[in-house]
Structure 1
Amino acid sequence: MAAERIVVFIDRSNLYHELLKNFGNANVDLSTFVSFLVGKDKLVRAYYYNAPLIQKDNPEGYKNQQKFFSALGLIPKFELKLGRLEKRSGVFIEKLVDVKMAVDIVTHAYSNIYDLAIIVSADSDFVPAIEAAQDFGKKVINVCLPKTKAFHLNAVCNKTIFITEADFIRFLIKKG
């Protein structure tokens, strides 16, 4: 039997905040993480959705983030998809990030780019996109943490994979 064609869709904000909340650290080796998720199947592409920091509001963070974005570009089959940050009442809100991810889930399913989508998020806003992908005959796996409240997302996906602490330790970028 031929290996399944897989596309991984990573909601950076959701993954980052869940890892930080549950493990106190969110420095993940994304290449190792995606390889673990895909296994022996064929990775078509891994998309990483994020919003760049605003340089004038956080020059050091912006500089570090740009270095990270450059490093992501060196990972084979990885693609960075950017939205933007918008300041509202002193708080930064991501704009376009989830919409871009949802559109890609659906358009890639319609274009028959993948057999299986792996969604790394706990955001129920992706439910309609996942249902549309399934209408095109695609399987969808959700990846989240066990304590994450992802009921609606997990209910529509064909399968859910929970990132355990043991898994996280394997993907952790060691300082030094």
Structure 2
Amino acid sequence: MLTNAYIDGTNLYYGALRGTPHKWLDLRRMLELVFPNDEIRAIHYFTSVVRSVPTDPSAPSRQQAYIRALRTVPGLTVHLGVIRGRGSPREKMTDVALATRLIADASQRRFEQAIVVSNDADFVPAILSAKNEFEAVVAVLNPVLRGRTQSDLESAATYVRRLRRRHVAASQLPSLLHDAMGAIAKPADW
């Protein structure tokens, strides 16, 4: 099936990548491994720009390198939100942007199947809208390696698949990439 993917980058990071050596993830390769019989046409990756904190001052530069690397992947678009607030900063505009893009693409029949990569039940209304109003097939790829898929999300989706460690390990970008600005190197501590 012609497939578009909508990736909740924060949920993917905390569910499958944090604390692993596999953060230099090739999202297209990952999707092709999990959905081998489908044609991945467009990938929409939603994340927020991280801020430097005293415990991790190089986080923004690592993220910038990764975003540059992702932009070399054919058919992949990066959508950036922001992180706001003090004390407990909150990601802003990414979930709504993902839901809006999913519904807009469903309404324009831009896919035969959508994949939502998240375990966030906040996407249930958008998934149900795409399914019920536009008769879209909407799969959920749960990126949480440990734990269950949110039951509301599981009920809303046409079907659910789980991301596995083997998919992540086998889906790494080359350590060195190039774009119009020059070389992009995988961060040393990744």
Q: Does 2:146 align with 1:132?
A: no
Q: Match of 1:65, as an amino acid?
A: Q
| Aligned equivalent of 2:64 | 66
| Aligned equivalent of 2:147 | 147
| Aligned equivalent of 2:116 | 119
| Aligned equivalent of 1:103 | 100
Query: 5-14 or 158-167: which moved more?
Result: 158-167
| Aligned equivalent of 1:158 | 158
- Give, in whole Å, the separation in 1 of the partners of 2:171 and 2:46: 19
Q: Secondary structure at the match of 1:83?
A: strand
| Aligned equivalent of 1:86 | 84
In the superposition, relative to structure 1, how do residues 56 and 16 fare at CA in structure 2: closer, same or farther (>3 Å)? closer
Q: Match of 2:48, as an amino acid?
A: A
Percent of aligned pairs with the same residue?
Answer: 25
Query: 111-120 or 48-57: which moved more?
Result: 48-57
In the superposition, relative to structure 1, how do residues 39 and 123 fare at CA in structure 2: closer, same or farther (>3 Å)? same
Q: Match of 1:123, as an amino acid?
A: D
| Aligned equivalent of 1:46 | 43
- Deviation (angstroms), 1:19: 1.4
Structure 1: gaps spanning 5 or more residues: none
- Give, in whole Å, the separation in 2 of the partners of 1:137 and 1:100: 21
* Aligned-pair Cα RMSD in Å: 2.3
**How many residues end up aligned between the 2 structures?**
170
Q: TM-score, normalised by structure 1?
A: 0.86
Q: Secondary structure at the match of 1:132?
A: helix
- Give, in whole Å, the separation in 1 of the partners of 2:71 and 2:166: 27
- Give, in whole Å, the separation in 2 of the partners of 1:8 and 1:121: 11
- Deviation (angstroms), 1:118: 0.5
Q: Match of 2:163, as an amino acid?
A: I
In the superposition, relative to structure 1, how do residues 172 and 69 fare at CA in structure 2: closer, same or farther (>3 Å)? closer
Q: Secondary structure at the match of 2:89?
A: strand
Indicate conservation of the 8 Å contact 2:32/2:38, yes or no.
no
Indicate conservation of the 8 Å contact 2:28/2:40, yes or no.
no
Structure 2: gaps spanning 5 or more residues: 176-187
1:59-117: CA deviation from partner (whole Å, max 9, x where unpaired): 521111111111111000000011100023x1221000100000011010001101100
- Give, in whole Å, the separation in 1 of the partners of 2:34 and 2:163: 10
- Give, in whole Å, the separation in 1 of the partners of 2:57 and 2:140: 34
Q: Which has the higher helix share?
A: 1
- Deviation (angstroms), 1:165: 3.2
- Give, in whole Å, the separation in 1 of the partners of 2:160 and 2:5: 14
| Aligned equivalent of 1:36 | 33
Indicate conservation of the 8 Å contact 2:102/2:126, yes or no.
yes
